[in-house]
Structure 1
Amino acid sequence: MNETETPDVDLTAPTALPHPLYERLLAADARLFERAARWNWPGAERVLPRLSRSANHGVLWAAVAAGVAATRTPRARRAALRGMASLAVASATVNTLGKRSVRRARPLLDPVPRGRRLRRQPVTTSFPSGHAASAAAFAVGVALESPAWGAAVAPLAFSVAASRVYTGVHFPSDVLAGAALGAGAA
């Protein structure tokens, strides 16, 4: 090799050895995903994939916000507005900074029964879950303005977040991190 040539560098090779604790956490996360894939919840195969799809692009939360605001009380209108604003902040943060900085691959669908899988699989990276972030942001934003509406929305937000693991598109830690980021955004 002469002075003007540069050696070939493998940019895909890890630059440092992963920390053993990190490796154990990833292994535990994979085991939890496998357990969720084997879990049989009667009726959920019809409901959770549809619920997960309905939350795409915030459509579900916009509909819920419209319903809350339609009650025409100032508190409900503020709750709906804050929920949507919180969702916008969480979604922008997770989908631009979060997913681009971590770049975790999605789980393999092999252990997930076909009836639970989404028809169209997401193409973005897995960590953190944008759906969980949006759900938590909306629910917490609503709850900060109206605890009663927040309590009404919370089970729906939890179900959307859980649906992402149940349908096989996220690891549990993706959902937990997304929910934490969403709650923080609110």
Structure 2
Amino acid sequence: MHDLAALDGALYAAVAATDTPALDAGLRRLSRAANHSKINLSIAAALTLVPGRCRAAGLAGAASVGLASFTANLLGKSLVRRPRPDRESAQVRVDRHVPMPTSASFPSGHTASAFALATAVGTILPAAAAPLGVLACAVGYSRVHTGVHYPGDVIAGALLGSTCATAVLALGRKLTDR
């Protein structure tokens, strides 16, 4: 476990040390836009306005985001209670900063929600899988780039979000098979 924590810290420090001025403002905006699952729920809501598979994808996406948010923010963070990274000691550039959340760091709720949406919608609408997967990865990376999460928090959030979507889709199939 100690080796994983050391690797996580080293990856965090490497991201902080990498000079990327062309990305900083955009990733900061993306990170903020993902607060409270605004991006994910907006996409899900837009999909529900289109009949057929799009509506089903939107509903499954919204349910998956809800389950992932609940699981990450209310269960995961309260059980693990990992402290947030120390941006100042890692020397994360101030122009990358977003407000530091007061909740625990593990897992990343932003990432869990983004991967829940990408998995649920991408399963029902395969053409949406790649763009939503890229968006989910970008949201996850933005959380490390802005200094509010370790990479391990983001990886855990991605796995959690995908798992929640898989559970929602399985439950949906069971209910429709009746």
**TMscore range, shorter length:** 0.7 to 0.9
C-alpha distance in 2, partners of 1:68/1:153? 13
TM score, norm. by length of structure 1: 0.84
> Is the helix fraction higher in 1 or 2?
2
Residue equivalent to 1:117: 97
Structure 2 residue matching 1:43: 3-state secondary structure: helix
Matches of 2:129 and 2:63, distance apart in 1: 15
Shift of 1:73: 4.0
Q: What is the CA–CA distance in structure 2 between the aligned matches of 1:151 and 1:30, rounded to whole Å?
A: 29
Tell me if structure 1 keeps the 8 A contact 2:41–2:65: no
Is there any run of 5+ residues in structure 1 with no aligned partner, and where? 1-21
For normalisation by structure 2, the TM-score amounts to 0.87
Q: Deviation per CA, 1:102-144: give whole Å up to 9, x if none.
A: 11100001210000010x2100000111011001101101111
CA contact (8 A) 2:48 2:58 kept: yes
- The whole-number CA distance in structure 2 between the counterparts of 1:41 and 1:153 is 24
Identity of aligned residues (%): 44
8 Å contact from structure 1 (residues 76, 149) kept in 2 = no
Pairing 1:27–2:6 present: yes
Kept after mapping to 1: 8 A contact 2:81/2:104: yes
In 1, the alpha carbon distance for the partners of 2:29 and 2:136 equals 14
Compute the RMSD of aligned alpha carbons.
1.2
Paired residues, number: 163
1:82 maps to which of 60, 64, 68: 60
Alpha-carbon distance in 2 for matches of 1:152, 1:166: 20
Once the two structures are superposed, the pairs formed by residues 91-170 of structure 1 within 5 Å of their partners are 91-110=69-88, 111-118=91-98, 120-170=99-149
CA distance in 2, matches of 1:40, 1:33: 13
> Which is higher, the Rg of structure 1 or of structure 2?
1
Gaps of 5+ in 2: 166-178
SS in 2 for 1:124: coil
